[in-house]
Amino acid sequence: MPNKSPRKFDREFKLEAVRQMLAGETVRALSDELTVLRKDLYSWRKLFRAGGAEALRPLGRPRKGDGVVTAKVKKRAREVTAGDPAAPERIAELERKVGQQQIELDCFRQALRRVREARRPNAGPGATGSTRSSKR
């Protein structure tokens, strides 16, 4: 019997799945489309809502450059927030907000790309535009 190890998904894959869930796609359809367990989709959405895009990092050993940047950021955060007891909660809230804004920005970019692809190019001056008139 083959030993199946669990599939590992990168953060971008998880973010795209969460985007689609937040856009209104059903979990069952998304699960079938991506061949991912529904429980994984629900847990990714829960992680995203709790900690933003950063919370969807894959578990396990960090990549080579991640630790250096994180240590510098943590050191700077300790220096800035030394006297403020509410600072960690505020930082976490802002990180979630940035993650949500990044998701929205990515969704808008994707929608804009689709609109641009759907438009027909003009053949030149006096040619028919990409859409018909509304006959108002």
Structural contact between residues 12 and 20, judged by C-beta atoms closer than 8 angstroms? no
Domain boundaries defined on the chain: 11-59+67-118
On whether the pTM is more than 0.75, the answer is no
- pLDDT score of 37: 92
The model's pLDDT over 87-133, given as tens digits with 9 standing for 90+, comes to 778 878 888 888 888 888 888 888 888 888 777 666 566 655 556 66
Helices 87-118, 11-22: inter-axial angle, 10-degree rounding: 80
Max Cα separation, the chain?
69
pLDDT in tens, 22-72: 888 899 999 999 999 999 999 899 888 888 887 887 666 656 555 555 666
Collapse the DSSP code of 41 into the 3-class scheme (helix H, G, I; strand E, B; otherwise coil) and give the result: helix
The span from the CA of 111 to the CA of 78, in Å, is 39
